[in-house]
Amino acid sequence: MVQSILDAISLGGLYALAALGLGLVFGVMRLVNFAHGELITIAAYTLVLTAQLPLILSIVLTLLVTSAIAFMMELAIYRRLRGVNPAIMLIASFGLSTVLQRVYEFIFGALPKSAVVAPFLRGAFTVGGVSITISSVITVILAIAILLGMGFLVERTSLGLQLRAAAADFKTARLLGVRSNRLIGAAFVLSGVLATCVAFILVVQNPQVNPYYGLNITILALVGIVIGGISSLRGAALGGFIVGVILSALNTLLGNGRVYAYSWLFLLVLIILLVRPGGLLSKGTELERV
């Protein structure tokens, strides 16, 4: 039971981090960046390929590579398309995602790359007769620490204030002096940092990295964003967390029927959206008086 609760919280935290990465970019660009999954994938490849290095060096390298690719995505593709119809941006991000998957396949091969990352996180310990995996505890601690760090950045810093304002109304934010290129670039770099965090947690649990490694979690994180409220960073994190917890709970509760976990998850998502079409933290819930 304790292990199940820890698994649910750790999966929730993981999805919250992925959803926050997507939510940051959506907030400033109104772009659903499908290629976020490929940032997670390249971070996972970098972690695996640098597993022989000291862990801290491997993580720093991964942060640099992933953030640089995230920034390049914006600079080379999305910046040129800024202002076009959102549907075109969506197709562009989908295209970029597919192209990057093929590029990874070409560079790293179709077969999974594997290495043991952070071996000290493997194994389990016993508390009161209950066996608990180290990775689930570390995942919970890491996810909470990163979410708190992101919470501080978003709620307490000038960059965070600008990100929240841009998420609400980018046009007005620019009229007040918020520099669009700098803010969007920062959002992409931060999404790269979050993709690295997600990849680290994923790779510790499953080091079999293939070109589609980040796809599944990205789709579920998108579901989380919709549940939480697409124009709110808090909503994105909350929605991601809820999806992770529900999925983990379904996997535990359904036993052999866990193959239907996704069906039940999407049914629950539909019910939530029917009750709260704008998401749990949509603008409709804000107290407003005019």
Give the footprint of other proteins on this chain (CB under 8 A): 158, 161-162, 164-165, 168-169, 171-180, 232, 283, 286-290
Q: Identify which of residues 192 and 279 has a Cβ nearer to other proteins in the complex.
A: 279
Helix axes of 180-205 and 36-49: crossing angle, nearest 10 degrees: 50
Six token digits for residue 144? 């909470």
CB 13, min distance to other proteins, A:
25
Tally of CB atoms within 10 A around 56: 8
Q: Identify which of residues 173 and 238 has a Cβ nearer to other proteins in the complex.
A: 173
Cα-Cα-Cα-Cα dihedral sign, residues 167, 173, 179, 180? positive
CB 247, min distance to other proteins, A:
29
Q: Identify which of residues 129 and 171 has a Cβ nearer to other proteins in the complex.
A: 171
What element of type H or E holds 2?
Answer: helix 2-29
CB 175, min distance to other proteins, A:
5
Q: Identify which of residues 135 and 231 has a Cβ nearer to other proteins in the complex.
A: 231
C-alpha 116: how far from chain center: 22
CB 174, min distance to other proteins, A:
5
Locus of tokens 């995996």: 133
Alpha-carbon distance of 275 to 121, in angstroms, equals 41
CB 177, min distance to other proteins, A:
3
Which pairs count as long-range contacts for 70-75, CB under 8 Å and 24+ apart, including other chains? 70/39, 70/188, 70/189, 70/191, 70/192, 70/195, 71/185, 71/188, 71/189, 71/192, 73/33, 73/35, 73/39, 73/188, 74/184, 74/185, 74/188, 75/185
CB 81, min distance to other proteins, A:
17
Q: Identify which of residues 87 and 274 has a Cβ nearer to other proteins in the complex.
A: 87
Alpha-carbon distance of 94 to 32, in angstroms, equals 9
Q: Identify which of residues 140 and 178 has a Cβ nearer to other proteins in the complex.
A: 178
